[in-house]
Amino acid sequence: MSATDTPRVLSSRIVVFSAVGAALYAVLGLVSFAIPGTQLVAVRPAFALVPFIGKRFGPIAGFFTGFVGNCMIDQLQGFGFLAFWNWSVAVGLVGAFSAVLGAKALRHSNEVARIALTAVGALVATAAGLLFVITDMFIQGISFETFLVGNYFPALISNGLAVVILVPVLDAVWEPLSRQAGR
Amino acid sequence: MDVTPRYLGGDSFLGRRDPRVLLLVPLLYLVAVAGVGDLRGVAFCALFAFVYYRAAGIPWREVRKNWIFVLGFTAILVVVNSILTDALTVTARSPELFTVPLTGSVVSMATLSYSLTIFIRYVTLAMVGFPVAFAVAPNDMGVAFARLGVPQRLAYAVDLTFRFIPSVAASVRETIDAQRIRGFEHKRKGNPLVRLKSLKPVVIPVTVNALVEAEDTANAMDLRGFGGGRRTWLRELSFGPADYLVVAGFLLLAAGMTAAEVLGFSEEVWIP
């Protein structure tokens, strides 16, 4: 198998949903608003797309949506796709983790339980994936306290809000459509 | 909201290069500046970044807003992390210059030197990143990633992402207009939770419509046998002498700066 051969798991469906997810995150991700009383903490509603795509379309689509989508946002804003590469990896990991954590919720027949599990799974995936920004300690030379108080918690709170509110709604809307499509 | 990729530096020196060069250079530059704590070291790298950026021939008036955002955001990041608070871990000892009122953060020459190093690092990373956005033809992205060894299907997904961006942006505009006719108005002030909830009428339909259309695209690709055999690309890429020269220059820079860091020449904060 050569380096450019592709694994069988990467179906055309995953390719397309990965690309659509990344494009959606890149475009909607430019809409954000600051939390009053903070300086650099912004709520980005589109962040909810990452765990949603991960849960519905698998870890590759989830990682691609988060990683490439975040790179695209940085690129469109002018920073270049590598300036905050560790944050892009972190967002990608959120998508990949939510695929693993969301799989259980997908099998649940009770709708209320499924919604609750979806929200909790997405929040846990967000908390776990964003831990990767601990690499800022080596990249920016910040202390552990600053990573925790200045980077991790603000990002977790702002993105957690978007995830808890929007992922269950997106999932509930997509559920009947997905059944209709027989997926 | 204009998010469509713009091809502004197409006729420039960098615009004529193989797109793989423009993807490799930011990576090599990141390796070069990643561990540099010495202001002189990062200033030396900045010379390379500046010459490279100028070679892209990107008109200033077209990217002025992008630069204002980059410079503003980076300045805030550095000032908050170093001047206003003690967030940056500067181990080098130097005489105290002043103490910031309220936060009590002590600012020394070492703090200022390291802050400037971080500032230059991010701004120059943006300099080498701009040509990727403005001097690579968007339809060359897929083939460039594929020829860099990225699996064909993932490279095609990158290509598709660029193709989907204009249609997703158009869908966002249409949805906002349609929802406004129904009385929707995005709340620009107040509680973040309320503002977040107020975006549901835009985010949900745009996402669901895009995914429903994506099902059709995936079916169409399957029907045309996508992935049935090894994919070929219409666009042929080939490295010319100038391409090798640019990559070799940045490769040398990355190797030199890494060696300097390993030998302990560029890791320490420089105190003037």
A143 in a domain, yes or no? Answer: yes
Reduce the DSSP state of residue A6 to 3 states and report it.
Answer: coil
Contacts of B169 in chain A (CB under 8 A): 27
3-state secondary structure chain B: CCCCCCCCCCCCCCCCCCHHHHHHHHHHHHHHHCCCCCHHHHHHHHHHHHHHHHCCCCCHHHHHHHHHHHHHHHHHHHHHHHHHCCCECCCCCCCEEEECCCCCCEEEHHHHHHHHHHHHHHHHHHHHHHHHHHCCCHHHHHHHHHHCCCCHHHHHHHHHHHHHHHHHHHHHHHHHHHHHHCCCCCCCCCCHHHHHHHCHHHHHHHHHHHHHHHHHHHHHHHHCCCCCCCCCCCCCCCCCHHHHHHHHHHHHHHHHHHHHHHCCCCCCCCCC
pLDDT tens digits for range B36-57? 888 999 999 999 999 999 999 9
Top pLDDT among A3 and A31 is at A31
Q: Is the ipTM of this complex over 0.95?
A: no
A168 in a domain, yes or no? Answer: yes
Whether residue B155 is predicted with pLDDT greater than 50 in this model: the reply is yes
Residue B86 corresponds to which tokens in the numbers above?
């003690």
Residue of chain A whose Cα is closest to the Cα of B24: A82
Q: Considering CB atoms only, which of B85, B125, B168 is closest to A23?
A: B168
C-beta separation of B3 from A76 below 8 A: yes
Q: Which of A177-181, B6-10, B188-192, B204-208 has the lowest mean pLDDT?
A: B188-192
Whether residue B80 is predicted with pLDDT greater than 50 in this model: the reply is yes
Q: How far does A49 lie from chain B, in Å, by closest CA?
A: 8
Cβ–Cβ gap A27/B3 under 8 Å: yes
Residue of chain B whose Cα is closest to the Cα of A68: B158
Q: Considering CB atoms only, which of B77, B81, B218 is closest to A16?
A: B218
Q: What is the number of structural domains in chain A?
A: 1
Cβ–Cβ gap B195/A43 under 8 Å: yes
Range of the domain at A149: 12-30+45-180
- Give the domain CATH number at A151: 1.10.1760.20
A37 in a domain, yes or no? Answer: no
| pLDDT, position B6 | 79
Whether residue B88 is predicted with pLDDT greater than 80 in this model: the reply is no
Q: What percent of chain B has pLDDT over 90?
A: 42
Q: What percent of chain B has pLDDT over 70?
A: 94
pLDDT tens digits for range B92-141? 667 777 777 777 777 788 888 888 998 999 999 999 999 988 888 888 88
Highest mean pLDDT among A108-112, B80-84, B255-259: B255-259
A40 in a domain, yes or no? Answer: no
| pLDDT, position B190 | 67
Contacts of B70 in chain A (CB under 8 A): 77-79
Q: Considering CB atoms only, which of B37, B90, B196 is closest to A43?
A: B196
Q: How far does A134 lie from chain B, in Å, by closest CA?
A: 14
pLDDT tens digits for range B204-242? 999 999 998 998 899 899 898 887 777 788 888 889 999
Largest distance between two CA atoms of chain B: 71
Residue of chain B whose Cα is closest to the Cα of A78: B66
Residue A5: pLDDT band (50, 70, 90) is very low
A38 in a domain, yes or no? Answer: no
Cβ–Cβ gap A18/B157 under 8 Å: yes
Q: To the nearest 10°, report the CA torsion of B29, B32, B35, B39.
A: -90
pLDDT tens digits for range A70-118? 998 888 877 777 778 899 999 999 999 999 888 777 667 778 888 888 9
Whether residue B176 is predicted with pLDDT greater than 70 in this model: the reply is yes
Helix (H) or strand (E) holding A176: helix A153-180
pLDDT tens digits for range A34-77? 665 554 556 788 999 999 999 999 999 999 999 999 998 888 87
Cβ–Cβ gap A15/B89 under 8 Å: no
Q: To the nearest 10°, report the CA torsion of A145, A149, A151, A152.
A: 100
* Burial class (CB within 10 angstroms; exposed 0-12, middle 13-18, buried 19+) of A151: buried
Within 10 Å of residue B185's Cβ, how many Cβ atoms? 9
Q: Which of A19-23, A48-52, B65-69 has the lowest mean pLDDT?
A: B65-69
Residue with tokens 């403005």: B134
Q: What are phi and psi of B97, to 5 degrees?
A: -95, -50
* Amino acid identity, position A65: T
Cβ–Cβ gap A78/B196 under 8 Å: no
Cα distance between residue B66 and residue B60, in whole Å: 10
Q: How far does B52 lie from chain A, in Å, by closest CA?
A: 14
Residue B231 corresponds to which tokens in the numbers above?
């994919």
- DSSP class of residue A35? P
A7 in a domain, yes or no? Answer: no
Q: What percent of chain A has pLDDT over 90?
A: 42
Cβ–Cβ gap A80/B132 under 8 Å: yes
A5 in a domain, yes or no? Answer: no
Contacts of A33 in chain B (CB under 8 A): 188, 192, 195
